[in-house]
Amino acid sequence: GLQGQVAIVTGSTSGIGHAMADALAAQGCNIVMNGLGEMNAIERARAEMAETHGVEVLYHGADMTRPIEIADMVRAAKAEFGELDILVNNAGVQHVAPVEDFPEDKWDLIIAVNLSSAFHATKAAVPIMKEQGRGRIVNIASAHGLVASPFKSAYVAAKHGIMGLTKTVALEVAQHGITCNAICPGFVKTPLVEAQIADQAKARGISEEAVMRDVILASQPTKQFVTFDQLNGMLLYLVSDLGASANGAAYQIDGGWVAQ
């Protein structure tokens, strides 16, 4: 079981990351919570997770655009809990605009948060996991790690990039009891998706209702959002002992999106 294991989940103050941290805590993992937000709300979420599941939850505010802070977060996990078993690289941001209008600062931000942060965290975590002879790295990519959609040049580039990182790291750690995999979700109803409905409407010149119907759920054959629990099922498999031979792979949890 996962009782007493230690997991870092980046971007776990909201959405998928919060749900994943909570699912790992429910299995008895001590958690390093990370992400942006209002300090009182973060402290409430941290205390609630610890209380509900009877585990230790440490918040580390590393900004995923800052390599030194990311390395410090990994060091803090090891210093506080004595080990690091699971790293979930989940933090992510989105911006939707045609490539010719795409702001340079948004490109740089998305590449930093959605791709480079996973490199920095992995670089810091692998020596600890190699020393233990045990570890699990799970990158939260996207269906957009495998296929594209218009107006998301930075996001699709970053998510395709993380697929390459996943495969390369998987090969390097394979003989050390460590695995590195990617989960590729379809659309999940989180603040990240809700925020882009308005942006998509503007970029395409259509109503928000039309975006929901013709853009968002149009690409998802089930016509249903993917749920947190459905993603957590894959996460818990990958981090378990049963997941030992799952390595360097992309797990599509997308209602059939990428099958099209």
| Closest CA relative to residue 105, chosen from 117, 90, 118, 93 | 93
Among 27, 28, 50, 63, binds ligand NAD (CB under 6 A): 63
Is 199 among the residues that bind ligand NAD (CB under 6 A)? Answer: no
Give dist(CA 162, CA 145) in Å, integer.
Answer: 7
Measured in whole angstroms, the distance separating CA 48 from the mean position of its chain's CA atoms is 21
Rounded to a whole number of angstroms, the minimum distance from the CB of residue 41 to ligand NAD is 11
Q: What is the per-residue binding string for ligand NAD in 120-159, x denoting contact by CB under 6 A? A: --------------------x-x-----------------
H or E element, residue 140: strand 135-140
Question: Which amino acid type is present at position 33?
Answer: M
Binding mask 216-245 for ligand NAD (x = CB under 6 A): ------------------------------
Nearest distance, CB of residue 56 and ligand NAD, angstroms: 20
Site for ligand NAD in 33-62 (CB under 6 A): 34-37
C-beta separation of 80 from 60 below 8 A: no
59, 155, 237, 251: the catalytic one is 155
Q: Judged by CB under 6 A, which stretch of 24-32, 43-51, 89-97, 241-249 contacts ligand NAD? A: 89-97
Buried b (16+ CB within 10 A) or exposed e, 51-87: eebebbbbbbebbbbebebbbebbeebbeebebbbbb
The residues with which 32 forms a beta bridge, in sequence order, are 8, 58
Q: Is residue 23 involved in binding ligand NAD (CB under 6 A)?
A: no
Contact pick of 5, 90, 196, 232 for ligand NAD (by CB under 6 A): 90
The window from 28-36, 45-53, 95-103, 206-214 that contacts ligand NAD (CB under 6 A) reads 28-36
CA angle 195, 215, 157 (to 5 degrees): 70
Question: What is the closest distance, in whole angstroms, from the C-beta atom of residue 193 to ligand NAD in the complex?
Answer: 4
The answer to whether residue 237 is catalytic is no
d(CA 158, CA 146): 11
Q: Which residues bind ligand NAD (CB under 6 A)?
A: 11-17, 34-37, 63-65, 90-93, 113-114, 140, 142, 185, 187-188, 190-193
